Structure 1
């Protein structure tokens, strides 16, 4: 690999410029006390493309560059303001770079890209936006921009003899000579996007006269007001939602009167704001509403004489500054030691958050009581600690669509269980992060950072945030990930389950309560009761949730049966665990062959109203049993009609036989009553063994556990089980371990597998039975708990010696 030439005038630094030539930046004057020869490119305002976009030639529309410099080189240029700022950023990161302490500074390289700006760069018609800079001072032009800094560690170069060379710094290209090629660089240790304020003289030279790091420590409350006003004026009921007008708040609903600083109960219609935040860990500063202080806190100014958590005090003050009188905060509006009343409030979280005018969200990454960053004298983190922006090289702007996921989704607040429904149920949200404020409603998103580079050069309404602050509308955008918008489907439900179960709960016993608000919404949207967070109408398919490894029950979740995902101590998903957010719609194309009953904890045993199907047809078991031939299916890789009828008639559990096993035996009700919340159903059961895994292949922590019958034939599998669990439970060396496998539903195998089976002429294996592996309890009746789910090839079920049983799944 060849080393690039070093320019003696600039030192060993390579600069790659796009769409411009060097002579564009070498005229005029530059202050050497501010900028060094190596950084001379920043000395002239032409690097920022300050001309109107339409006046520039197409070939000269962009000026972005990339520089490489070692830490050793930057340290030598301590008189340069740019070098000093960049080096200061690196030194702040050193404690968080495990490789830096053992790496020579001559081999630690910074890749510096820029300039980039805090705007999208393009308007909705994909035309370049003009950038004029701040010209409020007639003597100067101020440009606010950011750089993308990547820290890389170069491996020691080798000589032909294999020894290290003495060169301090080198960069190679694929061609070895052409400096315009993409550089081959080692993996990046860290990426950051610090911001800078560049001040240029407003004369003919337009030379750089000042460089300083640029941060916005506090947010502007008026900007937040402008977002809310725009939403109310432009969106109206679209963001309010029709159903919120019909919701009734729970009995005993209280709010904080921010004008009189007290707790109140109001009658009639009123407007209020909600708060979503994380409670501080530990007993300190956790003041809350309790039975013995309700009366005193209803007195005017009572909240002024108690010690409130900083985030609560800040939220009350911010609500007042936003012109809102009433605020709902759980710890001060729910009587925490009133067990019955508290449960009523928790069960109405959907009404509370959906009825709020908007929600203030403390989307923070700590549970320490730091208050609301950027407000009430609490400055925010400098930009070097922010999540890195993802700039667009051509437009020199930021990728607005990724800001939400970069700044909010990774936070500790968004990883907590209770906050899931608070985010999902809120119709308008003001996210206050460590770094910036973001607004989201049903129609738009707005970001504080999109106003920073423009507010000082604007006036009037533009300064309040109307200039470029909103980034998208519902027509142009993808569906909001955390929004209840339009029709809610089972696909939404499955995505929400995965998101929720992937989060943390301090008290695992809250797993059911923290989803109750979402369950209430789902009941209305799906027109189905929710049984332990599973929709009754879709019980057959929604029993097939997956988790990595065998089912592990949450001991703290009392009275929740094992068939509900609420009981799982692990994250749960539906469909392929590798793509939980893009579930194949065929997952719901099942064949109903079981009647389900439910032991209601508040009543007796009742038959469930489960939607019965034949793949894509809404056909009941009774209707199928009255037909001589099964409904015809269409599509690719579907077994022929004659084969389907033949295979199903040979199966020990088919619609004709299942119809005869609809009713339960007379002794079942007494047994089921001993297990509140259990599912009861008649089905076929077989005792099968776990087979040993075949050596080879790509090793993974979890894999499918093969099921084998008494003749050692493979008949199916149980999905996503730990390899260690399989090794401990498989049959080997004459030791036979049998496990109970019960049939729940049936359907066609996955499309990709059917395609392969069709190519191999194995059409009879396209139909499968969806089964559950259970642990049978020592009871007279077949009482069992869930272990895992999987499938059995339907044509091989008859060889497994299945028997009809009444299963009580608890």
Structure 2
């Protein structure tokens, strides 16, 4: 790891236990400085010329706080050395979580803007009004969410992984660590807001800007982090996984009881491994991880596979899993198999948990293809207008599939494809697709359910189009959970089948066993 010596203005190897600040900022569209891209010469020992204002201001802040070093990605990572760059990207969780302080430049759109209050110019005034002997003062609501910084993909993990954050906006400074937060414009009684231990604010106090800022503390929160990051923008689609890698690493490094492994960003939550749920295997947990879904559809990123959320951009992801784990594992059949295709074309099956970490280290971090062997049925997609509900978000797109030789069923599906584009929408409704059934639940104690993926044949492989959940109970069982609903051949809403016959329906529906190469 390299850092900048703030006094000598030189790039040096980080001393052991060095105290350093890290900078999180927007790179912008400034022309690159080619003197930092001379391959083979390295960057250690280089004397820094005059830098953009945001960098210079951050170095001044570090000096004022008696922090001797600062880490700035553009200058501390050898951009011409692919091996070094890859190694540093793998360590983003360590770089930001180990920093004494992270300076967040949330004002401006490029590093020439500077930090407001320093070279960034004067800050916007705080409004006040005196009425008699009373003074009313505006508290300046945080505008971080509207900043360019908050819209960029790479800055997401930089803010989340940091322990202490000093945030510069156009109006004021904000401070937020993992236990408390405060703003420059509003002085609050911090002793009253803290718990007796003074380790953190009381739970009754409103959260700061970074509501989720302890990645790895709760395994089941991983989809919240992924869905927040998914809203950010990237200049290069191929960065979709790398810009989130630090957060995913934090989940991977968590204690075994709450560890989350990932394959191309798809989570494998080891916390779900429990005798209560019949000891699901890593392969089954990976299949469960495939059931992320879009609330609003997006468009494909060709650099990553369609079965990963990283293979899509635009739209909006659901922030929790499609289903509860007990629905997936209770007494469900286990004849669905999945394997990873290596870069040389070989297939590698998931091991047990004891060997899972070594297995994941041996495959490409961004695996491209998986092979699923499961029961499948043909289907098409139709549009059916439904009345809106104040409780639930309904998709108006359904897969149409044969129930038997005569009847046809319609099952609501969560599409990953953006249906707002008329051309895309027309193409969607004219094609044929395949439903892949994943392990499904048929316990006597719980409502019967089935889960699966909708995929399209692309020739050499299939691509994911969406996913579904089939419940025999129907849409009104819970006012807050997004249950799917099946229609009959008319427009009336009903359960697809009688309460006791989902398993019978599954075994009698026209289907075939098939191996799908999903990319």
Give the TM-score band, short-chain normalised.
0.7 to 0.9
Give the Å deviation of 1:287.
6.9
Give the Å deviation of 1:483.
1.3
Residue 503 of structure 1 aligns with which residue? 232
Task: Return the match for 1:590 from 325, 328, 345.
Answer: 328
TM-score (norm 2): 0.73
Residue 254 of structure 1 aligns with which residue? 2
TM-score (norm 1): 0.48
| CA distance in structure 1 between the aligned counterparts of 2:428 and 2:156, rounded to whole angstroms | 37
Task: Return the match for 1:533 from 265, 276, 281.
Answer: 265
Task: Return the match for 2:459 from 778, 783, 786.
Answer: 778
Task: Return the match for 1:488 from 205, 215, 218.
Answer: 218
Cα distance 1:689–1:266, how it changes in 2: closer, same or farther (>3 A)? closer
Deviations 1:311-333 (A, max 9, x none): 01111111111111110000110
> 2:19 matched to 1:271?
yes
Contact 1:598 1:678 in 2 (8 A): yes
Residue 703 of structure 1 aligns with which residue? 396
| CA distance in structure 2 between the aligned counterparts of 1:437 and 1:271, rounded to whole angstroms | 22
Give the Å deviation of 1:792.
4.2
Task: Return the match for 2:249 from 491, 495, 520.
Answer: 520
Q: Where do 5+ consecutive residues of structure 1 fail to align?
A: 1-252, 387-394, 452-465, 575-579, 612-672, 732-736, 750-762
Task: Determine helix, strand or coil for the equivalent of 2:306.
Answer: coil
Deviations 1:719-768 (A, max 9, x none): 2462755655447xxxxx5321111232489xxxxxxxxxxxxx999422
Task: Return the match for 1:349 from 92, 109, 114.
Answer: 92
Name whichever structure is richer in helix by fraction. Answer: 1
Task: Return the match for 2:37 from 290, 296, 313.
Answer: 290
| CA distance in structure 1 between the aligned counterparts of 2:12 and 2:160, rounded to whole angstroms | 27
Task: Determine helix, strand or coil for the equivalent of 2:396.
Answer: strand
Residue 411 of structure 2 aligns with which residue? 716
Q: How does 1:547-586 map to 2 (within 5 A)?
A: 547-548=294-295, 552-555=299-302, 557=303, 560-574=304-318, 580=319, 586=324
Deviations 1:467-523 (A, max 9, x none): 659965333346761311772222x20101110011111112211110111121111
Contact 2:327 2:449 in 1 (8 A): no
Count of aligned pairs between the two proteins: 433
Contact 1:421 1:518 in 2 (8 A): yes
Residue 356 of structure 2 aligns with which residue? none
Cα distance 1:368–1:272, how it changes in 2: closer, same or farther (>3 A)? closer
Residue 616 of structure 1 aligns with which residue? none
Contact 2:298 2:315 in 1 (8 A): no
Residue 369 of structure 2 aligns with which residue? 678
Q: Higher RCO, 1 or 2 (CA under 8 Å, sep at least 6)?
A: 2
| CA distance in structure 1 between the aligned counterparts of 2:381 and 2:228, rounded to whole angstroms | 31
> 2:293 matched to 1:546?
yes
> 2:476 matched to 1:740?
no
Residue 607 of structure 1 aligns with which residue? 349
Give the Å deviation of 1:715.
4.4
Q: How does 1:660-675 map to 2 (within 5 A)?
A: none
Residue 474 of structure 2 aligns with which residue? none
Cα distance 1:769–1:478, how it changes in 2: closer, same or farther (>3 A)? farther
| CA distance in structure 1 between the aligned counterparts of 2:223 and 2:157, rounded to whole angstroms | 14
| CA distance in structure 2 between the aligned counterparts of 1:677 and 1:598, rounded to whole angstroms | 8
Cα distance 1:288–1:507, how it changes in 2: closer, same or farther (>3 A)? farther
Cα distance 1:421–1:603, how it changes in 2: closer, same or farther (>3 A)? farther
Q: Where do 5+ consecutive residues of structure 2 fail to align?
A: 129-134, 195-199, 269-281, 354-363, 472-501
Deviations 1:273-304 (A, max 9, x none): 111001121317x57733369678725xx32x
Residue 691 of structure 1 aligns with which residue? 382
| CA distance in structure 2 between the aligned counterparts of 1:289 and 1:322, rounded to whole angstroms | 28
When Rg is computed on C-alpha atoms for both structures, the one with the higher figure is: 1
Cα distance 1:325–1:264, how it changes in 2: closer, same or farther (>3 A)? same
Q: How does 1:764-775 map to 2 (within 5 A)?
A: 766-775=447-456
Cα distance 1:336–1:444, how it changes in 2: closer, same or farther (>3 A)? same
Deviations 1:518-541 (A, max 9, x none): 121111224343211122343122
Contact 1:595 1:681 in 2 (8 A): yes
